[in-house]
Amino acid sequence: MPDAYERHLAPVFFRPFAADLAARAATLRPRRVLEIAAGTGALTSAVLAVAPDATVVASDLNEAMVACGAQRAPGAEWRQADAQELPFDDGAFDLVLCQFGVMFFPDRPAAYAEVRRVLVPQGRFLFSSWGPVASHGFGAAFQAALERAVPDGAPRFLPEIPHGYSDPHVVTEDLAAAGLALDSAVEVTLDGVAESAASVAAGFLTGTPVGVAISGRADAEAVRASVTRDMTEQLGSGPVTAAMTATVYTAHRPG
């Protein structure tokens, strides 16, 4: 999964937003940075480039992601870590970052409470979450193609998990429950550019849990082929571009 994630998804979905989030982080002039749910290091690499004097620790729950990220962004210290039980001292960081990871935390207030614990007073938490799947050109095309290919119950992973935490009011309540105060919530829309619609389809089908759900079907190969054809019909052949919307949140630890 990390290889497919890095090959097909990271360049298209995550690097455009990583550049934006890293630039926002740099304005805070951080000295000690923790990134949680760092994946294969798209944001990590961008932060190292714009904040070369900062100490950066990158963490992820998935050991395979950590191994991949450590190769791609060796300037950071990489750690396997559960965001809900961070293995770091109280007040160890002045900035915590998370790009498109909070949606996957089983208990978000618990994870945010850990962020609060490892932040210094007035330390910042800067993170992003996708908007509804309809606001993501690639995701919307994929989900529509998947539902046509599997009319008897297409996997709902995309709209319910990565795109299922898109209400800023809910996010604000979760932060408050953990003792963090929201400073801003900014909607950002950027273009993703992929080498082909087939590449994006391959990323979704092999680099996300959708692939696992499809693999158990007797018609798995036919489903994959149908989704790939459908996405190409929707988005076009050759390099394809689509708009993607996310919300960037800035919060802080009071005190």
Over 70: is that where the pLDDT of 7 sits? yes
Over 70: is that where the pLDDT of 193 sits? yes
The matching CATH number, chosen from 3.40.50.150, 3.40.190.10, 3.40.30.10, 1.10.150.20, for 1-131+166-191+245-255 is 3.40.50.150
123 close to 253: Cβ distance less than 8 angstroms: yes
* pLDDT for the residue 10: 87
Tens of pLDDT, residues 30-52 = 999 999 999 999 999 999 999 99
**Residue 186 φ then ψ, to 5°:** -115, 125
Tens of pLDDT, residues 102-159 = 999 999 999 999 999 999 999 999 999 999 999 999 999 999 999 999 999 999 999 9
* pLDDT for the residue 222: 97
Over 70: is that where the pLDDT of 1 sits? no
Over 80: is that where the pLDDT of 24 sits? yes
Domain positions in the chain are 1-131+166-191+245-255, 132-163+196-238
* pLDDT for the residue 9: 86
Angle at 204 between CA 45 and CA 147, to 5 degrees: 150
CA 18 centroid distance within chain = 10
Average pLDDT, the chain: 96
| Nearest CA-CA partner of 111 in 251, 254, 255, 14 | 251
| Nearest CA-CA partner of 188 in 103, 131, 104, 250 | 131
* pLDDT for the residue 48: 98
Per the DSSP assignment, residues forming a β-bridge with 252 are 124, 181
Report the C-alpha gap between 241 and 200 in whole angstroms: 11
Report the C-alpha gap between 58 and 81 in whole angstroms: 9
**Which pair of structure tokens corresponds to residue 159?**
């709209």
- HEC-encoded secondary structure of 81-123: CECCECCCCCCCEEEEEEECCHHHCCCHHHHHHHHHHHEEEEE
Tens of pLDDT, residues 59-97 = 999 999 999 999 999 999 999 999 999 999 999 999 999
Over 90: is that where the pLDDT of 179 sits? yes
Report the C-alpha gap between 71 and 48 in whole angstroms: 14
Residue 181, H or E segment: strand 181-194
